[in-house]
Amino acid sequence: MNIENLIKDTFTAREADAPDSDAVLAAARRRIDSRRSALGRPLVVAAGATVLTLGAVTAVVLNRPDPAVQSQPMATAGGAETPAPTSQAAAAGLRMPYSLGWLPPGTVAHRVHRINVGFSAEDPATPLYGGEYMLTVTAGDQVLEIGVQQFRMVSLDEAMFKSGPGQAVTVEGQRGVESSVSTGPGGYELYVAHPDGGSMYVHVAAAHGSTAPAQQLADTGRRIAENIQFPGATTVTPAYGLRDLPDGMRICAFNVQQGLDRSPAMPETTTGYSLGTCTVQPTVHVNSAVVGEPAGTPGQFVQGHATRYTDEDGYRRLWVLDAIGGAPVVVAGGVPQADLYDIANRLVLPS
């Protein structure tokens, strides 16, 4: 796989949505830098997001059969084998690995639901998966920004803060570390030890132009941490889906974003998937958060849609044009061209 192209695709798709986890990345990067000679390749991260291990549960949840999505008869379009239209099919809901059992009063707007993918310094070949929420809560003139993540690869002893040094705290009987300057540029940050290793990270801050007392931020963050629920029962609706993936391939991770307004051509809700065996690093990435005009040469039609195709030193991209409200979906990876067409033909697109 061309790792530089993978990094470029990942950051381009998520550059508008970097989470507030710079300090967490610094801790992870510090550990990896100390082992860089043994790794031989860079840490792949998604716009500042680190990750957790979910094991087989992730693969099972993300790949449950959807009774509304059945195999479709095949037809030809422009010389390419392509499924017949799936106007009655619906994209399967995506299950988050944990749920937020409590949020402060107000109007909740979810910006991001996702499962990230990365790796640890100790075992870079094995993928780690982690759930993340990013949202806002509006109550009157006050707007709070909230982020919750789980970090298997960051222990409490490695916790770092943007707003100053941390101090010990206990949350629901679990040892934790919280930021000592809640009104600083990083807002309130809290790491709580997870029984299975690593830590849960909760971040609460007043949005730009809004204010909140330090004690309110701390109380909110602690109560959110106290009410995180495993396993998750939160289901996310994607902008499009995938059906009947080839044998041995699964949905390993996803990214559903709301309210992107960077480009008129980009749909309001964007969705990305990482596909593979889920036991090694995913090899194919599918995304509707496409920035700029699709490049490449015209390819075969997919489900009645025109396509564009590029090959950069074996890292291939297939754009399915006008797939979602006039915007394209791109399928990319260091796999044969035929595999990209095969996956594109399994897209469940909105009618």
CATH code for 63-91+238-348?
A: 3.30.200.100
pLDDT at 267: 63
Residue that has been written with the tokens 């540029």 in this structure: 185
pLDDT at 118: 77
Query: What are the Cα distances from residue 246, in Å, to 152, 289, 342?
Result: 30, 24, 8
pLDDT at 121: 82
Record the tokens describing residue 99, joined without a space: 């749920």
Give span(s): CATH 3.30.200.100, the chain.
Answer: 63-91+238-348
The rounded radius of gyration (Å) of the Cα atoms in the chain is: 21
> Which residues of the chain fall below pLDDT 70?
1-89, 183-185, 259-267
Pick the closest to residue 281 from 312, 250, 256, 303 (CA basis).
Answer: 250
Q: Which residues contact 182 (CB under 8 A, 6 or more apart)?
A: 163, 188, 214, 215, 217, 218
pLDDT at 256: 97
Buried b / exposed e over 245-254, threshold 16 CB at 10 Å, is: beeebbbbbb
DSSP string for 264-327? TTS-SEEEEEEEE-SSS---EEEES---S---SEE---BTTB-EEEEEETTEEEEEEEEEETTE
